[in-house]
Structure 1
């Protein structure tokens, strides 16, 4: 399956803006059909999905936003950043579009936001149609933070953020991408533009609180995943040192009838490193698993 990337300048030009809690949030929409919400990871933004965007828009109504504190949205320095608030933000956008039910494809930090959405769904809201996770810290016990994350969580986190540079970012990304699928200079420049826009490094130590939030919410999110009837799939880059094959092994231990796909030689950003494979396995999930489940639960 072929995919076509989108240059960052073109991506930004296609964005729209809405306001959330007094702040500007950049968001994107394309295609028609069943709504599919894409949720990006830390520390980048929704451009992470650019290789998949057009192919997905040929089949679905795809929607994505840069979460507050990320990429081309506002990055206030005095804000109560939290995963729960980011879930509120996702729901606020979907409500503004009058979308009551939707599918979710998430990555990294976005996985945790999606887990919160699933927990809310299971509490009776009933708005999710399916959920697919790419590499992310679904379980705190399997998440292996990189050095940058550890430093941002430390008492000198604010200083680390202010000293963050493109060179440091490139070194970190080089360690979490697969050895055969390293980002090129163009991609690194785009990642850095997302991070440094609106003085983003100055809030990284605030955003990193999500790692502690994962521990607090772990049991509630796990219970939702274990009891849900919402179709779930994990598509995971196997050699990711942060949340690779070891995370999938834990997922298979904890989740009933686990639906998982491991991508050999791929690291933490499978939608960038192997977009054709991600697209293939995501479409198969929708066609084979989600559609079958929908037919089985539709009254005759």
Structure 2
């Protein structure tokens, strides 16, 4: 068989597989995800529908907590800590799926950006008339949270003063898991003024809210209580 014929056959097979992949029906939602979807709502952002969900907290203080999930998952990442204490110190918690993730719309051949994901988070906050809020972010969501913070820099004198030092360290550091090795902790403590950091046990990987929900929520609530004092 000639090289050209082999290449032709391979090209045909790849094309057939691509068509099968594109036309293959989307798997049905699991009962758990379907329940998550049914308890939420959709907000239209530009021409896209973004899933979000608001859960009432158990405190009459503490304000609003906005959660931002990571890559490549969804807001359902936080479900294990929802009843373990996430609602304890806040009035409400907002969950949402970023564009292209989870239950939100997934446009093809689209130029996704951190800036637009931050726009979406702000659109949800504006829709709910939220002016002040805390952020709990993970992985890719950390960068979205930093973009949101950067937009407030000019209004926060202290953060404006330390903009390059803080944001540069958080974004540029080579990082307590396979994604962010332990060396990052020492670098963070040296670089960020008055750092607040909790080191979880070594067996916990990059998804602590899923792998060790109790340890995660205990650490988070300890941090939050310090900030609310």
With the length of structure 2 as denominator, give the TM-score of the two structures: 0.73
Tell me how far apart the structure 1 counterparts of residues 156 and 199 of structure 2 sit (CA, whole Å).
31
Show the 5 A alignment for 1:176-191.
none
Tell me how far apart the structure 2 counterparts of residues 246 and 9 of structure 1 sit (CA, whole Å).
40
Q: Pick from 49, 54, 62: which aligns with 2:78?
A: 49
Given that 1:245 and 1:262 are in contact with CA atoms closer than 8 Å, whether structure 2 keeps it comes out as no
Structure-1 residue corresponding to 2:56:
31
With the length of structure 1 as denominator, give the TM-score of the two structures: 0.57
Given that 2:41 and 2:52 are in contact with CA atoms closer than 8 Å, whether structure 1 keeps it comes out as yes
Structure-2 residue corresponding to 1:241:
178
Residue 248 of structure 1 and its aligned partner are, at CA, apart by: 2.3
Larger radius of gyration: 2
Tell me how far apart the structure 2 counterparts of residues 101 and 11 of structure 1 sit (CA, whole Å).
25
Given that 2:89 and 2:221 are in contact with CA atoms closer than 8 Å, whether structure 1 keeps it comes out as no
Residue 125 of structure 1 and its aligned partner are, at CA, apart by: 7.5
Cα 1:125–1:261 shift into 2, 3 Å: closer
Cα 1:246–1:139 shift into 2, 3 Å: farther
Q: Pick from 190, 199, 207: which aligns with 1:269?
A: 207
Tell me how far apart the structure 1 counterparts of residues 98 and 148 of structure 2 sit (CA, whole Å).
15
Show the 5 A alignment for 1:55-134.
55-60=85-90, 61-124=92-155
Tell me how far apart the structure 1 counterparts of residues 75 and 181 of structure 2 sit (CA, whole Å).
21
Cα 1:23–1:15 shift into 2, 3 Å: same
In the alignment, structure 1 segments of 5+ residues that lack a partner are 1-5, 127-136, 144-237, 293-300
Cα 1:138–1:125 shift into 2, 3 Å: closer
Secondary structure of the equivalent of 1:111?
helix
- Indicate the RMSD between aligned Cα atoms, in angstroms: 2.1
For residues 194-229 of structure 1, give each alpha carbon's deviation from its aligned partner in whole angstroms, at most 9, with x where no partner exists. xxxxxxxxxxxxxxxxxxxxxxxxxxxxxxxxxxxx
Secondary structure of the equivalent of 2:44?
strand
For residues 92-130 of structure 1, give each alpha carbon's deviation from its aligned partner in whole angstroms, at most 9, with x where no partner exists. 10000000000000000000011111111222279xxxx
Aligned length: 181
In the alignment, structure 2 segments of 5+ residues that lack a partner are 1-30, 158-168
Q: Pick from 239, 251, 268: which aligns with 2:188?
A: 251
Given that 1:38 and 1:105 are in contact with CA atoms closer than 8 Å, whether structure 2 keeps it comes out as yes
Cα 1:28–1:250 shift into 2, 3 Å: same
Q: After the TM superposition, which parts of structure 1 deviate over 4 Å for at least 4 consecutive aligned residues?
A: none
Tell me how far apart the structure 1 counterparts of residues 185 and 149 of structure 2 sit (CA, whole Å).
19
Tell me how far apart the structure 1 counterparts of residues 181 and 33 of structure 2 sit (CA, whole Å).
27
Given that 1:111 and 1:138 are in contact with CA atoms closer than 8 Å, whether structure 2 keeps it comes out as no
For residues 133-159 of structure 1, give each alpha carbon's deviation from its aligned partner in whole angstroms, at most 9, with x where no partner exists. xxxx9333415xxxxxxxxxxxxxxxx
Given that 1:36 and 1:62 are in contact with CA atoms closer than 8 Å, whether structure 2 keeps it comes out as yes
Cα 1:26–1:125 shift into 2, 3 Å: farther
Secondary structure of the equivalent of 2:73?
coil
